[in-house]
Amino acid sequence: MVEITDVRKSYGNKHAVNGISFEVKEGEILGFLGPNGAGKSTTLNIITGYLSADSGSVKIDGTDILEEPLKAKKDIGFLPEIPPLYVEMTVLEYLNFVYDLKGCKLPRKQHLKEICEVVKIWDVGNRLIKNLSKGYRQRVGIAQALIGNPKVLIFDEPTIGLDPRQIIEIRNLIKMLGREHTIILSTHILPEVQAVCDRIVVINKGEIVANEKTEDLINAVDGSRKLVAKIVGPEDEVLKALRSLGGVKTAEVLGKRDTDSISYMIESQERVDIRKPLFALLSGRNWPLIGLEGMELSLEDIFMRLVGKEKDKEVGKKARKGVK
Ligand code: ADP
């Protein structure tokens, strides 16, 4: 549905996007992830035709965005990081304005009402946008993207600045829209892509460092898991036993909150699940295990591991070529 082929863009001598290619299939929700300055906005602006690439091509449902921009743009609904809202207008005035701007041909009243019902803003239709909460404004931003019923929706950091309840509502809304549309969701929040996306493309310094199904990516980088175990027992002996348990890479004391239990951080070797042997060890020694939790990987961990892997590959390549 969206095909991006070898797209490059420089600002002066700064390579913002350096030859990236990926595809988004029909009905897929793709997470586009990367640290600040990675080139996400530049890429999205090229996909939506707001910015032209120096080279490479973007096709929306087979139509090249540069060769037939009007046709291609009809298939895209875009929610930029800062939605282009006219805050002195009421919600319905604004949506009617966007309807005209897009030259939409669908039956006006019915189409706008349907959209307002989907994003749940029908009850605020006659309110001025400036008087709405950030969460409602974001819904109005999504509503304008839906006008014309485009096949592809592109959301740039859609939950930034929202409170936790609004974040969940917007994520659920995006998931629901994913049933009818192909979606690209740009974000730097890992739980967001885990919660919503089928596949993740990770970009770093203008290059793609991963393009995988969400579970595969998380599993690939989460090879060595970190667990936090709360154990009752003599600290030195427990530590020694943990460190000599097969599959354990490191074990450290994290803290002592209760009087009789101690929290340990245990890191396992790649692709080893130590939970069962850990339980067997502790029950054998009669040291009660009163808590066991996985430590969540942060986005930073993922980037470090992905970028680290890329570096390893580079070093490997250079070594094979005999380069120092
Ligand atoms: P992201 O959206 O991932 O934060 P951007 O696409 O905004 O990344 O930026 C990619 C790189 O290009 C950054 O190093 C940024 O400083 C640079 N850049 C972005 N826009 C411009 C511009 N208009 N002029 C010069 N450099 C830019």
Alpha helices in 1-106 (DSSP H): 40-47, 69-74, 91-101
Parallel/antiparallel/unpaired status of strands 226-232 and 289-294: antiparallel
Nearest to 297 by CA among 204, 216, 236, 224: 224
Q: Which residues contact 108 (CB under 8 A, 6 or more apart)?
A: 96, 99
pLDDT attached to residue 238 = 95
Tell me the mean pLDDT in the region 85-99. 94
Q: For ligand 1, which residues put their CB under 6 angstroms from it? A: 11, 14, 16, 34, 36-42
In terms of phi and psi (left: phi > 0; alpha: psi -120 to 50; beta: otherwise), the region of 67 is: alpha
Q: What are phi and psi of 261, to 5 degrees?
A: -115, 155
Mutate to test the pocket of ligand 1, among 41, 157, 203, 303 (most ligand atoms within 8 A of CB): 41
User: In Å, what is the CA distance from 161 to each residue of 81, 104, 133, 281?
Assistant: 10, 31, 11, 46
Q: Could you tell me which of 18, 11, 29 has the C-alpha nearest to residue 182?
A: 29
Question: Are 38 and 32 contacting, i.e. CB atoms less than 8 angstroms apart?
Answer: no
Provide the pLDDT for residue 314. 47
pLDDT confidence band for 11 (50 / 70 / 90) = very high
Strands (E), the chain: 2-11, 14-24, 29-33, 55-60, 63-64, 76-79, 152-156, 182-187, 199-204, 207-213, 226-232, 248-255, 261-268, 289-294
Q: How far is the CA of 206 from the centre of ligand 1 (A)?
A: 9
Sheet holding 248-255, edge to edge: 248-255, 261-268, 226-232, 289-294
CA–CA gap between residue 248 and residue 266 (Å, rounded): 7
Strand partners, 10: 15
275-320: per-residue pLDDT in tens? 999 999 999 999 999 999 877 666 666 766 676 655 544 444 444 4
Q: Tell me the H-state helices in 75-178.
A: 91-101, 108-118, 134-146, 164-177
Per-residue pLDDT, averaged over 94-107, amounts to 94
For tokens 């066991």, the residue is: 292
Residue indicated by tokens 């991963």: 210
Which atom of ligand 1 lies at the shortest distance from residue 12's CA? 25
Sign of torsion over alpha carbons 44, 49, 51, 56: positive
Ligand 1: residue of 13, 42, 202 to mutate (most ligand atoms within 8 A of CB) is: 42
Q: What pLDDT is attached to residue 217?
A: 79
**Rounded distance, CA 319 to CA 263, Å?**
42
59 bridge partner residues: 3, 64
Q: What percent of the chain has pLDDT over 70?
A: 88
| Contact of 49 with 65, CB cutoff 8 Å | yes
Rg of the chain's alpha carbons, rounded to an integer? 25
Measured by CA distance, the residue closest to atom 25 of ligand 1 is: 11
Helix, strand or coil, per DSSP, at residue 73: helix
Q: What average pLDDT does range 43-70 have in this prediction?
A: 91
Distance of CA 137 from the midpoint of ligand 1 (Å):
26
Residue 90 per-residue DSSP state: B
Q: Which of 13-27, 30-44, 120-134, 286-300 has the lowest mean pLDDT?
A: 286-300
Whose tokens are 């970190």? That residue is 226
For the cut 70, the answer to whether the pLDDT of residue 101 exceeds it is yes
Map residue 45 onto helix, strand or coil.
helix
Residue 294's pLDDT is what? 77
Taking Cα atoms as reference points, which of 108, 114, 144, 111 lies closest to residue 129?
A: 144
User: Is-contact 204 306, C-beta < 8 A?
Assistant: yes
